[in-house]
Amino acid sequence: MEPDAKTASPTGPSVTRASAAATLGGLHRYADAGPVDVRPSEPGRGRLLLVRHGETAWSRAGRHTGLTDLPLTGAGRAAVGGLPDLLAEYDLVHVRCSPLQRATETARLAGLEPDALDADLVEWDYGAEEGRTTAQAQAEGRPGWTVFDGVPPGETPGETVEMVAARASRVLGRVWRHLEHGDVVLVGHGHHLRVLAAVYLRQTPYLADALELEAGSLSVLGHHRTTPTVHRWNLAP
């Protein structure tokens, strides 16, 4: 399919698939100029809820989907329809979402109304690996390769894991104050949320390579006294 092509939605009018370069060019609209706070010494009472978007055609095929803006599949929409039940027990005070349509559609189907769309919540910029599978890269003489080993520039510049971690740190810096009052939901993407979890846990961002996070899942981060912890991980609706 060509970049910026129209795709038919089984539940309504056609939606636009924007290329990675087109998405990158428009992200300035979602740049958050708000204050970025340091981690408080005493954690707030709230928990941090991570919602990965539902299935897309590329995630189903194992293709790296960074800034290419794809809609959910029918199966993806059906699966995330169970998220409201998982979220019902939480005291939600703030919802922050990636501006990419697979995330905003997931938020809507989960019954969430985002308070902010944040460019720092978009997925890893995979550069030349955009749209390709890990197996394809490994077959080209890079056995054992993952994106954590680095991506070359392509249609977009690409990012290192440290660059993704820096964006994740800014997102966390914007939500610490909300966690003083209750639970916060971040709706985003697989690799980015895994890196964000590692940063939240005060671990190397490379820990994210060992965290499995399925499409449409819910994970919950909290604290034991002042130590950041994983309460629940990779829950299916």
Indicate which residues carry an active-site annotation.
Answer: 53, 123
**How many angstroms separate the CA atoms of 31 and 65, rounded?**
21
- Is residue 134 within 8 A of residue 149, CB to CB? The reply is no
Instruction: Give 24-32's long-range contacts (Cβ < 8 A, gap of 24+).
Output: 24/67, 24/125, 24/156, 27/99, 27/119, 27/122, 28/119, 29/99, 29/119, 30/99, 30/117, 30/118, 30/119, 31/119, 32/116, 32/118, 32/119, 32/120, 32/170, 32/174
**How many angstroms separate the CA atoms of 230 and 187, rounded?**
17
Say if residue 73 carries a ligand binding annotation.
no
Say if residue 56 carries a ligand binding annotation.
no
Partners of residue 97 on adjacent β-strands: 117, 187
Say if residue 62 carries a ligand binding annotation.
no
Annotated binding residues, written as ranges, equal 65-66, 102
Annotated binding residues for substrate, written as ranges, equal 65-66, 102
